[in-house]
Amino acid sequence: MLRYTLKRLASLLISLAIASLVIFAVIEVAPGDPAAFMLGLNAQEDTLAALRAELGLDQSKLQRYLAWVSGMVQGDFGTSYQYRTPVSEMIADRLWVSLPLALYALALSTLIAFPAGIYAASRRGKTGDVAVMSATQLGVAIPNFWFAMMLVLVFAINLRWFGAGGFAGWDKGFWAALKSLTLPAIALALPQAAILARVMRSALLDVLGEDFMRTARAKGLSRAQALRRHGLRNALIPVLTILGLQFSFLLAGGIIIEQVFYLPGLGRLIFQSISARDLIVVESVTMLLVFAVIVVNFTVDLAYAIVDPRLRQRQ
Amino acid sequence: MSRALALGGCLTVLVACAALMSFIWTPFDHAALNIPAKLQTPNGTHWFGTDHFGRDIFSMIMVGARTSIAVAFVAVGIGVTLGVPLGLWAAARQGGWVDEVIMRGNDLIFAFPSLVIAILITAVFGAGAVNAIIAIGIFNVPVFARVTRGGALPIWAREFILAARVAGKGATRISIEHVLPNIANLLIVQATIQFSLGILAEAALSYVGLGAQPPTPSWGRMLADAQTLVSIAPHMALVPGCAIILTVLGLNLLGDGLRDRLDPKLQAART
Amino acid sequence: MSLLSIQSLSLNISGAPILDDVSLDLEAGEIVAITGESGSGKSMTAFSIMQLLPDEAELCGAVHVSGQDVTQLPEATLCTLRGNAISMVFQEPMTALNPVQTIGAQVAETVHLHRPDLNAKTESVRALTRVGLPPDQVSHNKYPHQLSGGQRQRVVIAIAIACGPALLIADEPTTALDVTTQAQILDLLRQLVRENGMGLLMITHDLAVVAEMADRIIVMNRGQVVEAGQTAPLLAAPQHPYTRALLTASSHNVTLPETGTNGPLLQVNGVVRDYVLPRTKLFQTPGHFRAVDHVSFDIARGERVGLVGESGCGKSTLTRAILGLEPIQGGQITLGGQPVIGGLNIRQRMQVVFQDPYGSFNPRHRVARLITEPFHLSDTPQSERDARVGETLTAVGLSPEDAGKYPHQFSGGQRQRLAIARALITRPELVIFDEAVSALDVSVRAQILDLIADLCAQYHLTYLFISHDLNVVRTVTDRVLVMQSGRIVEAGQTAQVLSSPQHPYTQKLLDAAPVLPPPQGEIDAQRPLV
């Protein structure tokens, strides 16, 4: 188990290193000089040079890369070109919107998908299964941002149960904040829940065809008991993979959904920074998102080993 | 033929026909502004109504289908042309360093939240259909590589591969002659799925303004335009939304239907 | 009252008839074997007793277990019977256990389910100890993947007997196991029947196993019982033609034509094949597993050599090394003086027939293309190839018109004929039969063995016949090599080695292999005419 963990950890570090290089490289080749952008068209050459030195733009690429990485390791994400404030502070504020949103959506998606998938698998081929599968077929096809607009139309504009957008802020109390995240979380979660339910169902059906499920039935377990005691844990392995990938979708999907609901999250920060060509912010936010996804994948790998004893020994 | 296959096929053909038709005929010029006729709900003249500039939504949907299909198609093409050979190569060298490098590379691409990177690419290199295609296409490569390798590995374990090796055939020849035809079904099904995901991704990118630029119409941008007007002109949001849903639904049903139809296990059961 | 009594049982699955008017009885303490070839419905009879049939199944007739008709019982009552009064052991021990649960927990679950009054853990230890897995030898906290096939089958049996069932059904319990393991599992089952007084219904295709185990035999064919009776009289004087055919096929012997041997063809000299083991510690030098350990032997032209051994003994690795598909770490292999590795022109002089008649053909190619694949590196002109296709198909008992068909249009036995056609089309000097008849039903196997004998006469074949089945090797080879743990432990004339084995391992193999007593008629026929 220790060996397995160390191996996964090594691969996590390599992934992070390569990811940071790629992001740095993409930002490097971006056209335009941030200093010129900040000072406007009429800037003097010497003021430009001074600003470049201040921003560290006059150093070699390697030096700047190393400075960027070592800064991030210490929690220093650099200074925003646009606002001249530490990027880490800007990110921290936004993270309090984006992260709860993603987790909220993940929880909703799991809560809907697991029972739906298990139900459909246990009713295979019957009306209940067909109904759940048709619903998920539709759910997979709906773009989440359009679904978000429809939610706003129905629940905010027509029924007035929720606000049409904006974020109450955690200082207004937990429930108020949660309420303003509810419609966005539903918009994010339902299409993902549809995917997850389908995966859950097919993983369970695969397991149901295994020999050991027959052994379980021959022991005297009922269909439902066999499914619960022997099927679920084995079906969990493919489901975990999808769950890990979904986190990445939820973070990214959140960026779009934040646009629909005018939520002050990382997504809006990225778009504002792109239009202001505040590339250091774009760079850092992207890296942070990639970091989150890589860490989630690492956790999923560890979860595999807990679920499946065969993985603990092998390698 | 199963109902899924029939329904999926019909929807897909319908959208494809609308896109092709738009080259020779649309009810109105999709770009022609007609402010007096703005925000009409669906009626006899404008079947799907008009937008805030009085443009005919039906015509825009037809032309927008072109954009969606073109972007998704090329993105799938990128995935297939790069991903399938990589997957075949990895499977042929199973357990070797080539396999390891290819699969770790795949994992790495999977680690990037795709939409974030698409946003990064379009942000840095400028918004536009071509960059959207590249951004979506890159993420299709590991998908096809993984599916290809996953499908090819059990084939490599079959005895007919051993027979081919005894006959003196090399890995490349075996991959093309014996492996590829046996995983073609798998790839066709995956291609329809990626195609539908491509349409969704294109819509999302255009919605945030990073996809095809005006005057090229696109379903995602029609939705972005509709957003502020959703309370007074809901049809502006409903129509493009339904167009996306029906297209994606059609492709998914087609993929499911094809998978059931092409699955050799199910085929054996039928005969 | 019989322990088990099946009356006029008929079964349809999705409209297809599976069982037709099957009746049988079983008393406590009795071992009854149901035998027959694939598709005879023997396994479905077992699942009917367990009432574990697919949803589409339509059943009529009655299955009385201890007086209760299980076909009439509600599912909840059936659950209290399964694993408790009626238990079942399955064919494939590798997949019959839940991979993510310890073996102790899987046995304990049965006890917990049916006997909540007992301590599940103690009972589980007791059951595992009874099947020969005491906790001091095999930890009950192990997972199935950490055990061998035989050990896993013992766990499956422990699950089945933990609650002391009155009726045990064993569906091909030893088919997936090696012959020495098979002997141990059969002993165990016999012992359990004797000690517990349970009834054992055994389902197996192997008549030799039946002959050793069963008190009574039920022979099934195409869903019907064709013959039933006490074991010894039934085997001695079978009444039904199908039973007779089955018996003849099971102990089928072929007469190989005498062909003079003439100089060495294949020379295997001190061959070593090591696999690098994965490191268990970070900076350790990787360990090796020696799959083939200094193996040397020759095959002369015209000689038919057998290679026997149990799974994992290295015979598959050796085969692949001879075919030049596997690098070797020591020694050399030459065919007609040329090394087999690196020389591509050597490929045509050596061909192979594999075990699996379903996996050995690309399903998307036609027969003509499939069987001419060995011509890949040769410059044989197309006209010659086409001529050979017809000729070879005829030689293996198919017709030249079959060249345009796809492999799925053939039965298992016909596909094995195709595989032989593919191996013979280039007129190779050496053919390797790698478990080539192991996956076939006995009657088909007999036909393929006849074909091999015919082809020996027609083409003067030299072959290496790899098999785990001593009875088959006995009849189709001149000389035999016995392999254990990567080494050849005994070699010699087949008749001599198999009648007076010298090495203890060979003796063990021979002792473990169940034998079918020859039917009376055949003994007379085999008596030499003076």
Tens digits of per-residue pLDDT, B236-259?
888 899 999 999 999 999 988 888
**Token pair for residue A172?**
């207004």
C347 vs B: CB within 8 A: yes
Instruction: Report CB contact under 8 Å: B159, C377.
Output: no
Return the residue of B nearest to C373 by Cα.
B167
Q: Nearest residue of C to residue B264 by CA position?
A: C363
Tell me what the mean pLDDT of segment B153-174 comes to: 88
Are C442 and C205 contacting, i.e. CB atoms less than 8 angstroms apart?
yes
Interface residue A63 vs chain B (CB under 8 A): no
* Pick among C13, C326, C341, C373 to test the B interface (most B CBs inside 10 A): C373
Alpha carbon distance B258, B249 (integer Å): 14
Residue C79 touches chain A, beta carbons under 8 Å: yes
Instruction: Give the per-residue pLDDT at B1.
Output: 56
Average pLDDT over residues C243-258: 85
| Average pLDDT score, chain C | 87
d(CA B78, CA B201): 15
Residue-averaged pLDDT of chain B: 84
Edge to edge, the sheet with strand C16-26 lists C16-26, C4-13, C57-65, C68-69
Is the model more confident about C501 or about A272? C501
Q: Look at residue A312 and tell me whether its pLDDT is greater than 60.
A: yes
Closest to A264 in 3D by CA, of A114, A98, A152: A98
Q: Mutate which of A3, A9, A219 to disrupt the C interface (most C C-beta within 10 Å)?
A: A219
Predicted confidence (pLDDT) per residue in A66-101, tens digit = 888 888 888 888 778 777 788 888 888 888 888 899
CA B126, CA B124: separation in Å to the nearest integer? 6
pLDDT surpasses 50 at B269: no
C156/A contact by beta carbon, under 8 A: yes
Closest in C92, C96, C113 to A220, CB measured: C113
Q: Are B88 and B81 in contact (CB under 8 A)?
A: no
The mean pLDDT of B173-178, rounded to a whole number, is 91
pLDDT at A86: 86
Q: Please report the pLDDT score of residue A67 as a whole number.
A: 84
Write out pLDDT tens, residues A260-292: 888 888 888 888 887 777 888 888 888 888 888
A272: Cβ contacts below 8 Å, ≥ 6 apart: A278
Q: Do A256 and B115 touch (CB under 8 A)?
A: yes
- Residue B210 in tokens: 């990073």
DSSP β-bridge partners for residue C33: C202, C217
Mean pLDDT of B175-184: 90
Residue B9 has pLDDT above 50, yes or no: yes
Q: B121: which chain A residues are within 8 Å (Cβ-Cβ)?
A: 26
Using a CB-CB cut-off of 8 Å, the residues of chain B touching A183 are none
C14 to chain B, any CB pair closer than 8 A? The answer is: no
Contact between B116 and A138 using a beta-carbon 8 Å cutoff:
no
Cα C478 to Cα C469: distance, rounded to the nearest angstrom = 15
* A173 has a pLDDT exceeding 90: no
Token look-up 């993979």 returns A241
d(CA C255, CA C271): 33
Q: Is A136 on the interface with B (CB under 8 A)?
A: no
The structure tokens listed for A309 are 């004893």
Residue B179: pLDDT band with limits 50, 70, 90 = very high
Nearest to A217 among C52, C80, C100 (CB): C52
Q: Are C168 and C201 in contact (CB under 8 A)?
A: yes
Exposed, middle or buried, B35 (CB in 10 Å: 0-12/13-18/19+)?
Answer: exposed
pLDDT at C212 over 80: yes
List the single residue in C356, C376, C422 with the smallest CB-CB distance to B169.
C376
Nearest CB partner across the interface for C113, out of A221, A233, A315: A221
Contact between C374 and C425 under an 8 Å Cβ cutoff? The reply is yes
Could you tell me if C461 lies within 8 Å of chain A, comparing CB atoms? no
Q: Which of C77, C98, C159 to mutate to test the interface with A (most CBs of A within 10 A)?
A: C98
> Is residue C351 a contact partner of residue C431, using CB atoms and an 8 Å limit?
yes
User: What is the SS3 assignment for C41?
Assistant: coil
Touching subunits of A (3+ CB pairs, under 8 Å) are B, C
- Which of C317, C323, C406 is closest to C370 using CA atoms? C406
Length of chain A: 315
C342 — contact with chain A (CB < 8 Å)? no
H/E segment holding residue C509? helix C504-512
Helix (H) or strand (E) holding C39: none
Closest alpha carbon within chain B to C362: B160
Is the per-residue pLDDT at C527 higher than 50? no
C282 neighbourhood in chain A, CB within 8 Å: 3, 6
Q: Taking the alpha carbons of C118, C124, C128, C131 in that order, is the dihedral positive or negative?
A: positive
Neighbours of C136 (CB within 10 A): 6
Least confident of C408-422, C500-514, C516-530: C516-530
As a whole number, mean pLDDT of residues B100-119 equals 79
> In C, which residues are within 8 Å of B160 by CB distance?
359-362, 370
SS3 content of chain C, % helix, strand, coil (to 5): 40, 25, 35
- Quick one: which of A197, A234, A233 has its CA closest to A121? A197
Q: Any bridge partners for residue C34, and if so which? A: C203, C218
pLDDT tier, C282 (very low <50, low <70, confident <90, very high otherwise): low
Q: Which of C344, C347, C362 sits opposite B160 (nearest CB)?
A: C362
Task: Please state whether the peptide bond connecting residue B215 to the residue before it is cis, i.e. omega within 30 degrees of 0.
Answer: yes
Lowest mean pLDDT of A50-59, A116-125, A192-201, C123-132, name the range: A50-59
Residue of chain B whose Cα is closest to the Cα of C431: B166
Among C75, C83, C280, the residue with its CB nearest the CB of A218 is: C83
**Nearest beta carbon to residue C360 from set B160, B168, B169:** B160
Q: How confident is the model at residue C281 (pLDDT cuts 50, 70, 90)?
A: low
* DSSP-derived 3-state class of residue B120: helix
Contacts of C105 in chain A (CB under 8 A): none
| pLDDT per residue as tens digits for the range C454-476 | 888 888 889 999 998 888 899 99
For residue B173, give how far its alpha carbon lies from the nearest alpha carbon of chain A (Å).
31
| Residue range B185-224, pLDDT digits in tens | 889 888 988 999 899 988 988 888 888 887 788 898 888 8
pLDDT of residue C228: 92
Sign of CA dihedral A81, A84, A89, A93: negative
Give whole-number Cα distances, A14 to A70, B109, C111, in Å. Answer: 15, 13, 49
pLDDT band at A313 (very low <50, low <70, confident <90, very high): low
Asked if C527 reaches chain B (Cβ–Cβ under 8 Å), the answer is no
Which token pair is B113? 């939240």
**β pairing state of C4-13 and C224-230:** unpaired
Strand pairing report for C330-335 and C338-339 = antiparallel
* Chain segment C474-497, per-residue pLDDT in tens: 999 999 999 998 899 999 999 999
Helix (H) or strand (E) holding C93: none
**B51-86 per-position pLDDT tens digit:** 877 788 888 888 889 888 999 999 999 999 999 999
| Alpha helices for C408-499 (secondary structure H) | 412-424, 442-459, 470-476, 494-499
What's the pLDDT at C283? Answer: 60
Q: What is the mean pLDDT of residues B150-161?
A: 88
By Cβ distance, the residue of C50, C80, C145 closest to A218 is C50
Give the sign of the dihedral formed by CA B119, CA B123, CA B125, CA B128. Answer: positive
Q: Are the beta carbons of B111 and A294 separated by less than 8 Å?
A: yes
Subunits adjacent to chain B (3 or more Cβ pairs under 8 Å): A, C
Residues sharing a CB contact under 8 Å with residue A72, sequence separation 6 or more, in sequence order: A20, A284, A287
State whether C95 and A211 contact (CB < 8 Å). yes
What is the mean pLDDT of the segment spanning A142-165? 85
Q: Please give the Cα distance from C218 to C224 (Å, whole number).
A: 10
SS3 state at C528 = coil
Q: Pick the residue with more confidence: A167 or B17?
A: B17
Taking residues A242-251, what's their average pLDDT?
A: 81
- CB-nearest to B163 from C364, C373, C377 is C373
Predicted confidence band at C310 (pLDDT cuts at 50, 70, 90)?
confident
- The nearest alpha carbon in chain C to B167 belongs to C374
Q: Is the pLDDT of residue B174 over 60?
A: yes
Tokens of B190: 């995956």
Find all residues with CB under 8 Å of B197, minimum gap 6, and list them.
Answer: none
Q: Over the stretch A101-119, which tens digit does the pLDDT of each residue have? A: 999 999 999 999 999 999 9
Among A49-58, C185-194, C252-261, C351-360, the range of highest mean pLDDT: C185-194
Residues 202-231 of A with CB under 8 A from C: 210-212, 214-222, 229-230
A313 near C CB under 8 A: yes
Q: Which residue of B has its CA nearest to C426?
A: B167
Distance CA C398, CA C418 (A): 8
Q: Has residue C202 got a pLDDT over 90?
A: yes
Selecting from A230, A309, A315 the residue whose C-beta is nearest the C-beta of C278 gives A315
**Phi first, then psi: what are they for A183, rounded to 5°?**
-60, -45
Among left, alpha and beta (phi > 0; psi -120 to 50; other), residue B94 is beta
B35-41 long-range contacts (CB < 8 A, ≥24 apart) are: B39/B229, B39/B232, B39/B233, B39/B236, B41/B233, B41/B235
Q: Convert the pLDDT of each residue in C508-525 to its tens digit.
A: 999 888 887 765 554 444
Residues of B in contact with C347 (CB under 8 A): 166-168
Is C352 in Cβ contact with B166 (below 8 Å)? yes
Alpha helices in C260-409 (DSSP H): 315-322, 367-371, 382-395
Model confidence at B33, pLDDT cuts 50, 70, 90, reads confident
- Mean pLDDT, chain A, integer: 84
* B chain contacts of residue A284, beta-carbon cutoff 8 Å: none
**pLDDT attached to residue A167:** 77
Listed as own residue / partner, the contacts of C395-401 with beta carbons closer than 8 Å and 24 or more positions apart are C395/C421, C395/C424, C395/C455, C395/C458, C395/C459, C396/C420, C396/C421, C396/C424, C396/C451, C396/C455, C397/C447, C397/C451
Instruction: Taking residues C432-456, report their average pLDDT.
Output: 88
User: What is the arithmetic mean of pLDDT over C500-511?
Assistant: 91
